[in-house]
Amino acid sequence: MGFLSPPRRFLFGPGPTQIEPRVYEAMAKPVVGYLDPFFFQVNEEVRAGLQQVFGTQNDFTLAISGTGSAGMETAVSNFVDPGTKFLVFSAGYFAERIAEMGRRHGATVIRFEKPWGDVFTEAEAREAIERERPQVAAFVHAETSTGALQPPQAISRPAHEAGALVIGDCVTSLGAAPIRVDESGIDMAFSCTQKGLSCPPGLSPFTVSPRAMERLQARKNPNRVWYLDLKLLSEYYGVQHRYHHTAPVSSFYALREGLAAILDEGVEKRFERHARVHAEFVRRVEAMGLRMHVATPSHRIPNLNTVCVPEGVDDALVRRALLADHGIEIAGGFGPLAGKIFRIGMMGPLATPAGLDQFFGAFEKCLVTASAPAVRM
Ligand SMILES: Cc1ncc(COP(=O)(O)O)c(C=O)c1O
């Protein structure tokens, strides 16, 4: 077979995104055992770093083994039981995945649906919550399928007034955009490592509010998903260190190093950098005569831009040319947005003025090559 030799790529898609070089170096360090004191030291550093990027003092903050969907299923399986009234605010693909998990766990799922790209106002959320009286509500903070950023308090405020817990999918926002879990009232937030944290996929950062911890402690029946049972996981990662599963040690090294890079830069400075790059991205897109899919600027995810595909342009051809000629990966739309949007991530080491120049230099060329002759200048 010889040695593995992946192609050189610039990951300007929604994820996985470009990885910090020091993260790769950390992954090559020697593996220790899953009960080694060094592993638990790394785990404590991971937990402390995650508290900072989540913006929380929640003691129950850890990394679940598995990708973002494992975090999603952790939230659903520990807090949504057969018969639970589960209200899902759905304006995109990933909210639908949460609803599907709720169904599989036997919940009574109610979907409050809006078009892909919209967000929910507090008045809309309050009306739905007062009507349905759910025990648990869920929303996607940064809906990767549409580019829309949902203000969390619009949902958490009315949900808490009605006594409901709130699940927030922060898979695309963590590490690049402020979430401020404690202020925003999210009770169970989950994320991934391969987007705003600039690490490879493999772990799902997770945090639980004290309010949700009380609900968890009061559970009578064990979680049906043994692997994602937070009570069992807390016995492994907590003081008892009781074996639960073989933690993916190299992934923890990677996350520890990715978080260290973020803390070295400064969490707020990193958010500001992504916001500045986003503003410049939008300015350049509009200067090209293109439109952003999400109309309201404050409702756009700062690290994942969705740009409308112009008339006469085949988005698949543009993506293919970007990859083949420039080694640049971006993504297209799917579901109702198939063929209609480009999804372009500006994250981590690529969220810089040089990253913008590199991307736009290639994008402008590929748009011309992929345009129908009538559209070509
Ligand atoms: C908003 C959102 N939620 C959940 C997921 C699922 O995460 P994963 O693919 O890491 O399992 C994704 C993946 O892109 C996502 O963007």
Length of the chain: 377
Same-domain pairing of 151 and 39: yes
Q: What is the spatial distance between Cα 108 and Cα 102, in angstroms, rounded to a whole number?
A: 8
Same-domain pairing of 245 and 323: no
Same-domain pairing of 116 and 205: yes
Identify the H or E element spanning 334. none
pLDDT-derived band at 377 (thresholds 50, 70, 90) equals very low
Q: Tell me how far CA of residue 133 lies from CA of 122, 146, 328, 332, in angstroms.
A: 15, 28, 46, 37
Mutate to test the pocket of ligand 1, among 192, 195, 228 (most ligand atoms within 8 A of CB): 192
351 φψ region: left (φ > 0), alpha (ψ -120 to 50), beta (else): beta
Q: Which domain-ending residue is among 263, 284, 311?
A: 263
Q: What is the spatial distance between Cα 17 and Cα 171, in angstroms, rounded to a whole number?
A: 13
Q: Which domain-ending residue is among 241, 263, 285?
A: 263
Same-domain pairing of 193 and 305: no
7 belongs to a structural domain: no
201 Cα nearest atom in ligand 1: 10
pLDDT-derived band at 370 (thresholds 50, 70, 90) equals confident
14 belongs to a structural domain: no
- pLDDT tens across 154-176, in order? 999 999 999 999 999 999 999 99
Q: Mean pLDDT across the stretch 286-298?
A: 98
Residue tagged 């996607």 (tokens): 140
Contact residues for 243 (Cβ-Cβ < 8 A; gap 6+):
34, 35, 236
Q: Tell me how far CA of residue 137 lies from CA of 75, 129, 178, in angstroms.
A: 11, 8, 21
Q: Mean pLDDT across the stretch 78-88?
A: 97
pLDDT tops 80 at residue 371: no
Q: Tell me how far CA of residue 21 lies from CA of 18, 177, 268, 367, in angstroms.
A: 9, 21, 22, 31
Give the domain extent around 279: 266-369
Same-domain pairing of 324 and 236: no
Same-domain pairing of 25 and 134: yes
Output the six-digit token pair for 236: 């492994």
For residue 266, report the phi and psi dihedrals to the nearest 5 degrees. Answer: 105, 125
Bridge partner list, 190: 169, 206
Same-domain pairing of 237 and 314: no
Q: 369 C-alpha to center of ligand 1: Å?
A: 32
Q: Are strands 341-345 and 304-308 parallel, antiparallel or unpaired?
A: antiparallel
Q: 171 C-alpha to center of ligand 1: Å?
A: 6
210 belongs to a structural domain: yes
pLDDT tops 80 at residue 45: yes
Output the six-digit token pair for 346: 């500006």
pLDDT tops 80 at residue 103: yes
- pLDDT tens across 50-78, in order? 999 999 999 999 999 999 999 999 999 99
Same-domain pairing of 185 and 256: yes
| pTM score of the predicted model | 0.97
Q: 186 C-alpha to center of ligand 1: Å?
A: 18
Same-domain pairing of 171 and 276: no
Same-domain pairing of 213 and 270: no
Q: What is the spatial distance between Cα 292 and Cα 300, in angstroms, rounded to a whole number?
A: 9
